[in-house]
Structure formats: C-alpha cells, structure tokens
Amino acid sequence: MNDLLHQRLALLSTDAHRALLSQGRRGIERETLRVDANGALALTPHPIALGAALTHPTITTDYSESLLEFITPAEHDIAEALTGLDTAHRYFYTVSPDELLWSESMPCHLPDEATIPIAWYGSSHIGMLKHVYRRGLALRYGKAMQCIAGIHYNFSLSEALWPVLQNAENTPGTATDYQSESYIALIRNFRRYSWLLMYLFGASPALASDFLRGKPHQLDVLSDDTLYLPHATSLRMSDLGYQNNAQAGLVPPYNDLTSYMQNLVRAVKQPFPAYVALGTRRDGDGEWIQISTNVLQIENEFYSTIRPKRVINSGERPVEALCARGVQYIEVRCLDIDPFEAMGLNLDTGRFMDAFLMFCALDDSPLTSAEEGHENTANFADTVKRGRLPGLTLQRDGAAVPLQDWGLELLDRIEAAATLLDARRDDGAHHASLDKQRAKLRDPDCTPSARVLDALRAHDNSFMKFSLAQSRAHAAHFKARPLTPAQCDDFARLARNSIDEQARIEQDQSGSFDDFIEAYRARSLTPTSCD
C-alpha cells in the first residue's frame, strides 16, 4: 500500500470521519431489450402503462422503442438500489406479461435495419431532439449496434469527504476544483485497472451470427447461429461492439477536467467528412436526420468506459453543467449484463464495485503519459478478446506481467478499501465479494464468460436457445413475486404523472423545432468556465 492510500484510509477510519463512508451515492441504469415469447424483438411501442419515456423518472428507453432502461434513484447503499431495480422489473411483468426482457448484452435475432424502431419521445422540441439524435446514431453506426445493452454503475463519495482530504493534504484551490480533479484522478486509475472488471464480470463471449450483418470478422463458428471467441470475456466491449473511428484519439489522458471538457467541446464543433456528406436534412422532405455533421452530435455520443457526470438542469447540456459546477459522480459503463442474474447483476458485484471504485478514488493516481495510455487501451482490448487465455500477459510500465498475478495483486490492494467499507457493517460483505473474485482469477472457469460458454454447450451451442431459456427463467422469477396493490398504484401514478408532464411540455412550448435545434447546437460551444 502506498503512503497516500495508507494516509487517506487511516484518516477516514477515525471516529470523526468514518460516517462519511456511508453518505456517498450508488445508482444503476439497466438496459434490456423487450422480446416476444419466442425471443424476437418486440416491435410494439413503449408500453403506455410504463408511462412516458421522456419524463418518467425510473423507466425510459435508450436507443430503440424496444430497448428499455431502468434507472434507480441514487441511494446510500447499493442494496437499496437493487431493491428498487427488482421492483421495477416486477412492475414491467405486471403490465407486459406476454413479453420478456432479454437476458444478454448482445441482442436477439434482429429484423432488418429499417424495421428496428427508433425511440419516440413525443412531439415536443426536446422530445424530437432526442429522437433526431437517435436517427443520427443509426446513420453513423447502424441500428444493430445500438441494440447492445449493458449495466451502468453510478458512484459518488460524500461531498463532505473531499474537504476532509483537501484540508489534511493542504491542497490549494477551491473545494469544487479539488472534488472534480479527485474524480478525474479516480478515472485515471479506473482506466489503468478496468481490464480487471472485464475479466471478472465480462459475460458476452458469444453472439448471434446475424448480428454482424455480413461484415468481415475474426470470430470462430460455434454453431449455425452462433459466433464466439474461445477465451473472450466481453465481445460487447471489443471492436465488434461499441466503436467509432471518428472518435479515435478524441480525448487525451484524463489528466485534468479542463482538457477533458475542451476536447469534448472541440468534438461537438468539429465537422467530420463522412457525416458532412450525409447532411442534417433528408433530401426531398427536409426531415432532420442528425443533429449535426460534427464528430459528436452531443457530448453523450462519446463512447467511453467511464464518464465524469453531474445532474443537469432542464435544457442544460452536460458540458455546461460540468464546467459550471464540477464533477458530482462517475458513471461506469463497461459492465455486461450477467445472464445468470435476473436483474443483470447481483449484490456481490455491487459490493465489489464499491470497493474497487473506492480504491481508485483514494489510491495515488499519477498523470497518464501517452505511452501508458496506449498500454491501458491495449490491456483492455486484450482482456475482452483473450482474457481467459492461459498464460495471458498484459503490459505494465513497459514490462509483461501475467494477468492472473496482476489481478490477485490488485485485489490485495483493494482489500484495504473493503476493510474500511466493512467497518460500517457487520456482515463482511465487501471482503466476501473480494474472495469470490479471487476464485475467478485462480480458476478462469468460474468467470461469467466461461460459464456462458458452458451453458451454450448445454443448449446445442446456440446463443439464441440459451438466452431465451434464461429470459424465460428470469420472467418466471419476477412473476412469482407479484407486487402489492399499493406498489402497483405507485407505479401507475408515476406513469400517469409522466404522461401528463409530457403533455404539458408539448402544450407550453413555442417557436419552431428548427430554431430550437439551432439554439441547442449553439449552447456550450464556448464554455467560459472551462476555457
């Protein structure tokens, strides 16, 4: 353990500060495709009983009408967030008993591109902006890629914790700046070590063969309908999943918030020739087909395994919020859906994520050089495609190190953070989670990706057969525990309120959509507080 981590852990373990550890926030965003009883993509609109996707606080859509997103409130304990997530899943099956929620990150068999429905948010200007943005995603990356689903893990430490560290370390600057740069330091460490998450929790070593739409690939054939890589952990996070050549080299090493934000602003302003050729309007009827012809239509188009975040005000752009008020929390975006868990992840994963992210926040985080940045990228790429390859080595400071040895070493270092977190509990939950991760490093067959391949063999080596069986089992799990009438009434009220709120937005707006989108594009292009 280095001196800085030791000092910070010792400080936070004192009676005066220990309570701060339980005052951070945790939240989950779980994406999942709606499918019919046979595993075909549901082409129906977002169920009206779930409310309006534009305004509902916890149930919305991501790219497609068929791609649900459950969003938990930010809770002090990840167990509370999971309880809320479970309740939302049970409500879905109350109002949509004939549909299933797909159990995998990689999609079911998809219809032709034209048939996949883009999410619709009503006729308001802000609703149309969200819809046009998704039209642009379809043009740029294709609809199939946008149907990939994942788990986003939102994490923050108590805002009262940062001044304690700043004062103890005599760090100059404002409290807001210290907090923001501390989260950026967390992100640097995350990018150093996120390959470990892909080994431990990657669960997409295979996919339906028609997902690639005839594109060239280097995958192996497992069966007539399934492609895979024998040692892969997460094809979702490989270059077969989220990728964008236009974004290559977009953001340099995360060495300070200002340069990060300036690079995002530059990408939102910088035209990209292939997108310029497409234009923003469709020939003939003049319909908007993308928000802009720049590298990014909006900041959220930047594909990253982790993002600095802040809750935004109505109509505010993310870059404006971060520049004005600093980083409030981080969003981890690389977790696969675990097909063996009904909600896509379990409490053990949450406990480990808390210890891992606490370690990343409190450990020393030197600035990242270009050379180290390349190492981090290569280590992540190797792990998602070859993570369970016997004897696989990664690069650390220019030297080869076995993945297994480095992983076990990291868990030993993370254990100090787990001890600190368990000091507020009486069940040793964080240590228990670390022990389960050690077992995966010692035996790759214990990893979710290896378990998926074993399960595929029991289902005729078919991704679709296994995934459909899991989806049905998960549906039965939720249906066996119906909500109480009072819980159903609460969800029904939220749905009605969201529909009413969308109607008010549509009724109260003024001006044309053309003027609205031009004004939106102009905002945040010169964020003075980040200059």
Q: How far apart are CA 518 and CA 295, in angstroms?
A: 17
What are the boundaries of each domain within the chain? 3-530
106 HSE (CA, 13 A, CB side): 29
Low-confidence ranges of the chain (pLDDT < 50): 527-529
Residue-wise DSSP of 142-178: -HHHHT---EEEEEE--TTHHHHHHHHHT--S-HHHH
Range 487-495, long-range pairs (CB < 8 A, 24+ positions):
487/87, 487/91, 488/91, 488/94, 491/88, 491/91, 491/94, 492/49, 494/51, 494/56, 494/57, 494/58, 495/48, 495/49, 495/50, 495/51, 495/52, 495/56
261-315 pLDDT per residue, tens: 988 888 999 999 999 999 999 998 999 999 999 999 999 899 899 999 999 887 7
Q: Tell me what pLDDT residue 426 has.
A: 80
| 3-530 under CATH 3.20.20.60, yes or no | no
Q: Tell me what pLDDT residue 523 has.
A: 76
181-220 pLDDT per residue, tens: 999 999 999 999 999 999 999 999 999 999 998 888 999 9
Question: pTM to 2 decimals?
Answer: 0.96
